[in-house]
Amino acid sequence: GAGVSQSPSNKVTEKGKDVELRCDPISGHTALYWYRQSLGQGLEFLIYFQGNSAPDKSGLPSDRFSAERTGGSVSTLTIQRTQQEDSAVYLCASSPRGGGTGGGNEQFFGPGTRLTVL
Amino acid sequence: GEDVEQSLFLSVREGDSSVINCTYTDSSSTYLYWYKQEPGAGLQLLTYIFSNMDMKQDQRLTVLLNKKDKHLSLRIADTQTGDSAIYFCAESKMSRTGGSYIPTFGRGTSLIVHP
């Protein structure tokens, strides 16, 4: 398909386990974002990749969270030693260009991965 | 407090106009956005406005921007049941590292349209 895809769509894990969430952005989009959406909350920015530049990790809530983007395309968000408060929907978005001056560019969102930590 | 604030719920009758309000904090934000999220789906851009504009109209949607008060509104004319969704306001805000502008979202307004 032509849109952003994420897998899995749902993930249930036990507290203390590691999880990996995958995002396939739209082909050719240089910018990729991860957000977390908790129940009743807005989107919380996690991390931003732009081309080959170093990622902006300023939104990662703890060192248990990390993300990679291989070959400027697919991205994986890893959460180590999951906690119950990590339960949320994790959304990935891509855009044709990055958040440069003013940041005026449309983000295309995937459907999200719903993570439940028991 | 929140960077971007919106009321959480709005209920309207089908055919009426809906007005969703938003306040933001960063006066340097050059772009402001409205996104729509339908149940079980990702966010979809509805419209955006550049900060040197006061108003933008696109079919049933009207965006008003008061830059002095940092207030943004989205008006939906002739609201339909299919408009029921969560509407997110977002501003482009410099990240904490200062390296890039990141769209920063409010908590979303749930619009409920009654037949």
Residues B47-73: tens digit of each pLDDT: 989 888 899 999 999 999 999 999 999
Task: Say how far apart CA B38 and CA B83 lie, in whole Å.
Answer: 9
pLDDT of B1 reads 46
Write the residue in A48, A102, A109 that is nearest to B42 by C-beta.
A109
Closest partner residue to A102 among B31, B42, B44, by Cβ? B31
pLDDT, tens only, B14-30: 999 999 999 998 777 77
* C-alpha–C-alpha distance, residues B12 and B17, integer Å: 8
Q: Write out the two tokens for B42.
A: 């990702």
Mean pLDDT for the stretch of residues A84-109: 80
pLDDT in tens, A68-82: 998 879 999 999 999
| One-character DSSP codes across A39-103 | TT--EEEEEEEETTSPPB-TT--STTEEEEEGGGS-EEEEE-S--GGG-EEEEEEEESS---GGG
Contact A104 B97 (CB under 8 A): no
Whether pLDDT at A99 is above 80: no
Distances (CA, A) of A46 to A22, B55, B109: 14, 31, 22
Cα separation, B41 vs B28, in Å, equals 31
Nearest Cα of chain B lies from the Cα of A75 at a distance, in angstroms, of: 17
* Whether B102 and A48 lie within 8 Å, measured CB to CB: yes
- Contact between B75 and B64 under an 8 Å Cβ cutoff? The reply is yes
